[in-house]
């Protein structure tokens, strides 16, 4: 039966490996020889323009990472989602690391199932194949049919995984900490902290009982969202090293041509992935930290502008605190509003800058790096340009990456890399900002109402009409919806907020703008009414309502 799950403990694991010098030395020799050999080949041949040479290099990277085992395969998986960092020649090979790895022997899988579930496979399943449909870094998946049930996915863990991970994490941490001073990194703290975060999440990932809990929690969060599908866990056929869920019959989000061949719209699927990712980070505070193409499946159908997307594999999940959620939401707004002073403070609040840091020289640097990438409108925002320039900023100023953000950054980077793979012209902010703008204007939670007040009024209580106009314009011109259609529900929610109990603070702030500096001041309110009059003029609203109704009756008209 199942043994207690091992928890990541770098000190205890180091002592454990030091007591096994034969294991330590032999593995260290293998790692150094393989990695140094790969590095030498890449240095000598990566500049070649011969496609066959680059293809061979991609296969060499795949073979090396595969032979080194789960920890290094996970690194390759992360790189496989970054078409902006990895050559296209190598990307196809790295993508195979997601679920096209060599399987382990079928007989061992059957032994694991019997040991974990307490009965042989033939007693539990009407149909169980002799070969898995997919093999990944930590386990392999079978499409099976339980006795009296429907088709399910049965994931069985690789043998001796705990021992391999303990050994390799000790060595990776040793090499990382030793080589950190020689690497072109400016993290502001030890590389060991990032490695420890990776190790912690990896050991949580190999306890399938925890994964079952994660899948059920994730499913509850999206229970009312028809665009996001989460497989159900069969607890009677799940344990520490085996997990069984409903079978997802979909198309992997790997190649645009494959999706289009199945008459699936890549743009609508990207939109669903990005919006659901934003919901996880900014609403739920609980997110899937490994959204690579092997863990996301496209399904037929659409809900409005959103394609139907299924998540699988819930081993790597994490939470984000309420304070970080609020700060990240505000940072998106501050970025678009070009409020770089507030954005610098966001970096302090999130821990990317020390609380005692002098922000005076950093604010103009942020404006130069981020403002230039933003351009004149939201659509020109280039996330890759920002990441390239921001790395330079980290050398010149005391930025650091807090360890708790390791998985958040991984999730966002994976999501953006997936979107870029399907659509190289994709801009994440085109989806992110309309989403945040709608939530702000609707004021559907206390935290959103607080952020709305922060956006609409300056430190002296003056109404900032240009910011409200910017929010309304972003919602109106949202590419992911019918032109202007989103303004109708936003207008209704805004009116409800203004007149309802939750809008008390907003009404008070508006009254304070009316009476300022001991005199009556109507300029701001007059400007507000003029803006609302232009935006929600009856003729314009009627035209938008007509467009929305026509689109619902005839989706091809969109």
Does 346 qualify as catalytic in the annotation?
Answer: no
- Helix and strand counts by DSSP (H, E) for the chain: 25, 13
User: What is the Cα gyration radius of the chain?
Assistant: 26
Cβ partners under 8 Å of residue 506, min gap 6: 443, 449, 452, 453, 497, 498
Closest listed residue to residue 311, CA positions, set 268, 365, 269: 269
* DSSP three-state, residue 164: helix
Catalytic residue among 99, 168, 207, 290: 290
Token digits of residue 518: 């001991």
* DSSP three-state, residue 118: coil
Which helix (H) or strand (E) segment holds residue 453: the answer is helix 446-456
- Look at strands 139-146 and 134-135 and give their pairing: antiparallel
DSSP string, 367-407: IIIIIHHHTTSGGG--HHHHHHHHHHHHHHS-----GGGHH
Cβ partners under 8 Å of residue 304, min gap 6: 481
Within 128-170, strands assigned E span 134-135, 139-146, 152-157
Q: Are 189 and 176 in contact (CB under 8 A)?
A: no
DSSP string, 182-215: GSS---SS-HHHHHHHHHHHHHHHT-HHHHHHHH
CA distance 434 to 200: 35
CA distance 534 to 540: 9
Q: How far apart are the first and last CA of the chain?
A: 56
For the stretch 390-396, contacts whose Cβ atoms lie closer than 8 Å and that sit 24 or more positions apart, written own/partner, are 393/365, 393/366, 393/369, 394/186, 394/188, 395/186, 396/365
- Fill in the DSSP letter of residue 4: P
Q: Are 222 and 233 in contact (CB under 8 A)?
A: no
Residues labelled catalytic: 290
């Amino acid at each position: 039966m199942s043994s207690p799950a091992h928890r990541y403990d770098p000190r205890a694991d180091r002592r454990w490996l030091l007591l096994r010098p034969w294991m330590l030395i032999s593995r260290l020799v293998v790692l150094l020889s393989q990695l140094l050999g790969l590095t030498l080949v890449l240095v000598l041949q990566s500049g070649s323009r011969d496609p066959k040479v680059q293809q061979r290099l991609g296969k060499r990277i795949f073979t090396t990472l595969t032979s080194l085992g789960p920890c290094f395969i996970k690194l390759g998986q992360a790189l496989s989602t970054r078409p902006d960092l990895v050559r296209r020649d190598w990307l196809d090979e790295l993508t195979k690391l997601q679920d096209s790895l060599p399987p382990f022997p079928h007989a061992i899988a059957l032994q694991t199932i019997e040991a974990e579930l307490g009965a042989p496979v033939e007693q539990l399943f009407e149909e169980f194949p002799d070969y898995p449909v997919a093999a990944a870094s930590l386990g392999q998946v079978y499409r099976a049919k339980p006795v009296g049930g429907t088709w399910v996915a049965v994931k069985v863990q690789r043998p001796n995984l705990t021992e391999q991970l303990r050994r390799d994490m000790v060595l990776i941490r040793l090499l990382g900490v030793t080589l950190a001073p020689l690497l072109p990194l400016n993290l502001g703290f030890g590389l060991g902290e990032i490695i420890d975060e990776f190790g912690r999440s990896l050991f949580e990932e190999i306890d399938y009982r925890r994964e079952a809990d994660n899948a059920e929690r994730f499913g509850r969060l999206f229970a009312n969202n028809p665009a996001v599908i989460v497989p159900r866990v069969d607890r009677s056929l799940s344990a520490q090293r085996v997990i069984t869920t409903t079978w997802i019959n979909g198309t992997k989000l790997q190649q645009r041509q494959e999706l289009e061949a199945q008459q699936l719209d890549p743009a609508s699927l990207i939109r669903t992935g990005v919006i659901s990712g934003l919901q996880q980070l900014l609403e739920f505070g609980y997110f899937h930290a490994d959204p690579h193409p092997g863990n996301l499946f496209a399904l037929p159908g659409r809900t409005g502008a959103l394609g139907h997307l299924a998540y699988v594999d819930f081993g790597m999940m994490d939470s984000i605190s309420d304070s970080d959620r609020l700060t990240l939401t505000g940072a998106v707004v501050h970025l678009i509003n070009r409020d770089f002073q507030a954005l610098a403070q966001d970096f302090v609040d999130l821990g990317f800058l020390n609380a005692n840091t002098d922000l005076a020289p950093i604010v103009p640097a942020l404006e130069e790096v981020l403002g230039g990438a933003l351009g004149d409108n939201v659509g020109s925002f280039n996330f890759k340009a920002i990441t390239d320039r921001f790395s330079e900023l980290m050398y010149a100023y005391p930025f650091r990456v807090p360890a708790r953000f390791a998985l958040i950054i991984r999730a966002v980077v994976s999501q953006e890399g997936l979107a870029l793979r399907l659509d190289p012209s994709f801009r994440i902010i085109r989806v992110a900002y309309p989403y945040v703008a709608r939530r702000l204007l609707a004021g559907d939670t206390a935290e959103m109402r607080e952020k709305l007040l922060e956006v609409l009024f300056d430190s002296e209580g003056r109404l900032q009409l240009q910011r409200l106009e910017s929010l309304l314009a972003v919602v109106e011109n949202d590419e992911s919806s019918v032109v202007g259609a989103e303004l109708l529900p936003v207008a209704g929610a805004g009116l409800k907020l203004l007149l309802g109990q939750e809008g008390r603070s907003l009404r008070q702030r508006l009254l304070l703008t009316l009476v300022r500096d001991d005199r009556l001041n109507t300029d701001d309110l007059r400007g507000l009414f003029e803006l609302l009059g232009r935006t929600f003029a009856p003729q314009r609203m009627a035209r938008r309502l007509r467009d929305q109704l026509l689109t619902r009756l005839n989706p091809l008209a969109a």
